Amino acid sequence: MKKIYTLICVLAFTLVACEKEQKPTNELETKVSDLLSKMTLDEKIGQLNLRGTSSRVKGKLPDSLKQAVRDGKIGAFLNVTNTEYVDELQRIAVEESPNKIPLIFARDVIHGYKTIFPIPLGMAASWDTQVAKNSSRVAAVEASSFGIRWTFAPMLDIARDSRWGRIAESPGEDPFLASTLTKAYVEGFQGDSLNDPTSMIACAKHFIGYGAAIGGRDYNTAIISDAQLHNIYLPPFKSAVQAGSQTFMTSFNEMNGIPASGDRRMLTEVLREDFGFDGFVVSDWDSVKEMIPHGYAEDLKHAAELSLNAGLNMEMTSKAFEKHTKELLKEGRITEDQINSLVADILRVKLRMGLFEKPYRVDKSDNLYADAHLQMAKEAAIKSSVLLKNDNNVLPLTAGKKIAVIGPLADKPREQLGTWTFDGDGKYTKTPINAFQNNNVNYNFVEGLSYSRDKSTKDFSKAIAAAKQSDVIVFIGGEEAILSGEAHSRANINLPGAQEELIKELAKTGKPIVLVIMAGRPITVTNILDDVDAILMTWHPGTMGGPAIHDMIFGIAEPSGRLPVTWPKVAGQLPLFYNHKNTGRPVIPEEFVQMDSIPIGAWQSSLGNTSHYLDIGYLPQYPFGYGLSYTTFAYSNQTLSSNTISENNDITVKVTVKNTGAREGNEIVQLYVQDVVGRITRPVRELKGYQKVTIKPNEEKELTFTLSLEDLKYYDNNEEYGVEKGDFKVWIGQNAAAGLTTKFRYE
Ligand code: BGC
């Protein structure tokens, strides 16, 4: 079954790829082999070499580097941002190097280049493919102006643990949502044609299992069964191949004992043979060399041998390929055919990018921070913000209210941009305070804490005094940008510093508190939940976060995001995700044993115990898919077109959604399925579809979803793909813990 499926994928992919390139593949392949036939071994090895410089190095362009390019010893550069250097290096490559092969310049353009959009986890909360596509298109237009034609994005690591710092860059915990967004990102970066000077080739990363780091500790081991690999972690990467992503990046971690940069099964069998990928794979920074401390390679030469044999094309920064490929060839540990094939993959992409004809950047710097870009960034910030709590409809605030704005992130231009924003200029950032000022809001700003980790209570009294003179408190806090991202995992994920303490003091004034959180991950709010009236999660919202927050707070716009990750009550619950399995002892609310109800001196007993924690229970703070709006919705009339599904008989599921509140609102209607009995156990729910709708007060909309048998198929631990006959449940609702249920059967 798997083979047939694979064949279909390869055929489908080939059609899509050919259509996209509008170029007969054989013409391209002829060019690749002509070029290869003229190249010396040194030049071939050069193409496999990505020279990286740190994100901060400026200095003078060293002569040795220019000479290396002249000799054809470098295939691509990372982090050259000085346009003069970009132009000079490219000129040397295409005018002076032996076969005039152009360079590619790469950079981590993750959620914007100059105009910064919300962090990817925030973008995922928008569930909006158009917004995602806009963000990557804007990033490509701005970055390509600097000669950057290769971005190290999108990051597609499914993440189920909010302690992990890089959850900020991830698409969240769900493979279906992640896969739909992947397609949009790739299409936005790569544009309508790869050879358009404003297109950047995408890089699906990190392949694979990086988000499954044990304990959420960055770089840590991943242990993933084949079923989980295919059902949870691989789908977004498959979607990237189908969308035409030209490159992939291996991850730092090992999975089941094999470091990703030496994993032949993943790089060759899965990525190329199963998925039909024909672009090139780059290693992550030094990850080839790091197979030595992993305990997988004896030394650098062995590392090169493992990676080349695995099918890794280009090495980032460490120099194993550069130093050892010739020796390995001589010793017959790799073959020239293998090297040719690895180089061909790189040349193919360079040809598709049109770099041989148009190697130089096209300066479109008048586009940087263009109005249209800023408007799209603002729209994205609004659509990714999630309203978590809104007691007594404290939000939106009515105009004219006297507001005490308090908190360490209300006016921090750089912090609200989030992780991986080397190029975003704080000067252009609009903070909430800028926006309140520009809109003549009646506010009094007292920071209270000068940065998110600040533990000093010295300014508390000023903040409390301001609060007392106001009608409402808007507390803007969270995490500084540096507290999430690579190598920035946290064991506790509550508001850092003395923020909780300050909120508790402010609550004593009796004034309503609106908590606006800017952070790179879900923040546990258990300690202060009862002290605040509303919580608005804006993630790190980017350049236009301020105006977006202003508009949401005053109801000019509605926060319309829904959680792309399960939000825990305490970090001790992690990892936590909605699409978990049942146990033999599923939680039954009435039988849930709480710590305080256990009699003193109780005899050991597991009766009544289920899979939960005695002290915190089993529920998250907020489920996956959750988010409030400024109106309310009612779901009714969930109907199925048939009670049975089969190979040739899709079923449609309909539901009516009514806006039962007083203002127009946006809803994300979510469809979940459970396969009740499987050949291996199945998750309690899986997202299989969603639709975004805008509904007027009192208006009803009937929505139709289609389910095919294909949607129900899954992989088991033998990599068999399929589904067996039996019962299925389907829910349509507002989040992963809600919804109307109906049943159908596969017969
Ligand atoms: C990160 C990658 C990034 C690379 C280049 C690494 O540390 O893991 O995501 O693309 O650096 O900057």
- How many A from CA of 50 to the centre of ligand 1? 13
End residue of a domain, out of 331, 352, 373 = 352
CATH code of the domain containing 730: 2.60.40.10
Three-state SS at 648: coil
End residue of a domain, out of 322, 352, 382 = 352
Atom number of ligand 1 nearest to Cα 252? 8
Amino acid at 242: Q
- How many A from CA of 538 to the centre of ligand 1? 25
pLDDT of residue 9: 39
Please state the rounded mean pLDDT for residues 119-140.
98
Note whether residue 720 is domain-resident. yes
Ligand 1, pocket-test mutation among 285, 315, 421, 489, most atoms within 8 A of CB: 285
Inter-residue contact 48 to 342 (CB < 8 Å): yes
Ligand 1, pocket-test mutation among 111, 486, 488, most atoms within 8 A of CB: 486
Taking the C-alpha atoms of residue 27 and residue 737, their distance in angstroms, rounded to an integer, is 53
pTM: 0.95
Which has more confidence, 609 or 175? 175
Ligand 1, pocket-test mutation among 111, 251, 284, most atoms within 8 A of CB: 284
Taking the C-alpha atoms of residue 724 and residue 679, their distance in angstroms, rounded to an integer, is 7
Looking at ligand 1, which residue's alpha carbon is closest to its atom 12? 108
Note whether residue 39 is domain-resident. yes
Atom number of ligand 1 nearest to Cα 155? 9
Inter-residue contact 500 to 528 (CB < 8 Å): yes
Q: Residue 657: in which H helix or E strand, if any? A: strand 651-659
Q: Report residue 600 as tokens.
A: 């003193």
pLDDT of residue 408: 98
Residues counted in the chain = 747
Q: Report residue 703 as tokens.
A: 């929505």
pLDDT in tens, 40-83: 999 999 999 999 876 555 678 889 999 999 999 999 999 998 99
Note whether residue 266 is domain-resident. yes
- The verdict on whether 286 is a catalytic residue reads no
Note whether residue 568 is domain-resident. no
Residue 507 Cα distances to 461, 474, 499, 513, angstroms: 13, 12, 12, 7
Three-state SS at 553: helix
Among 128, 157, 161, 284, the one annotated catalytic: 284
Q: What is the percent of the chain where pLDDT is above 90?
A: 90
pLDDT of 729 over the 90 cut:
yes
- How many A from CA of 90 to the centre of ligand 1? 23
Note whether residue 436 is domain-resident. no
- How many A from CA of 274 to the centre of ligand 1? 26
* DSSP label at residue 542: -
Amino acid at 665: G
End residue of a domain, out of 316, 335, 352 = 352
Q: How many CA atoms lie within 13 A of 334 on its CB side?
A: 27
Q: Report residue 360 as tokens.
A: 């130089």
Note whether residue 580 is domain-resident. no
Atom number of ligand 1 nearest to Cα 206? 9
Other Cβ atoms closer than 10 A to 660: 14
Domain range for 153 is 2-352
DSSP 102-159: PPEEEE---S-SSSPPPPHHHHHHTT-HHHHHHHHHHHHHHHHTTT--EE---B----
DSSP 455-515: ---TTHHHHHHHHHTSSEEEEEEE--GGGSSTT---S--B--TTHHHHHHHHHTTT--EEE
Looking at ligand 1, which residue's alpha carbon is closest to its atom 2? 284
Greatest CA separation for the chain = 84
Taking the C-alpha atoms of residue 77 and residue 234, their distance in angstroms, rounded to an integer, is 28
Note whether residue 482 is domain-resident. no
Looking at ligand 1, which residue's alpha carbon is closest to its atom 11? 285
pLDDT in tens, 504-550: 999 999 999 999 999 999 999 999 999 999 999 999 999 999 999 99
pLDDT in tens, 240-253: 999 999 999 999 99
Residues flanking ligand 1, CB < 6 Å: 108, 152, 205, 284-285, 486
Amino acid at 275: F
Q: Phi/psi at 710 (nearest 5 deg)?
A: -55, -35
- How many A from CA of 279 to the centre of ligand 1? 19
Which has more confidence, 207 or 598? 207
Contacts of 371 (CB under 8 A, 6+ apart): none
Taking the C-alpha atoms of residue 221 and residue 252, their distance in angstroms, rounded to an integer, is 9
Residue 520 Cα distances to 98, 122, 415, 490, 583, angstroms: 46, 8, 11, 11, 32
Note whether residue 233 is domain-resident. yes
Total domain count, the chain: 2
- How many A from CA of 493 to the centre of ligand 1? 24
CATH code of the domain containing 41: 3.20.20.300
pLDDT of 13 over the 50 cut:
no
Please state the rounded mean pLDDT for residues 493-497.
98
pLDDT of 19 over the 80 cut:
no
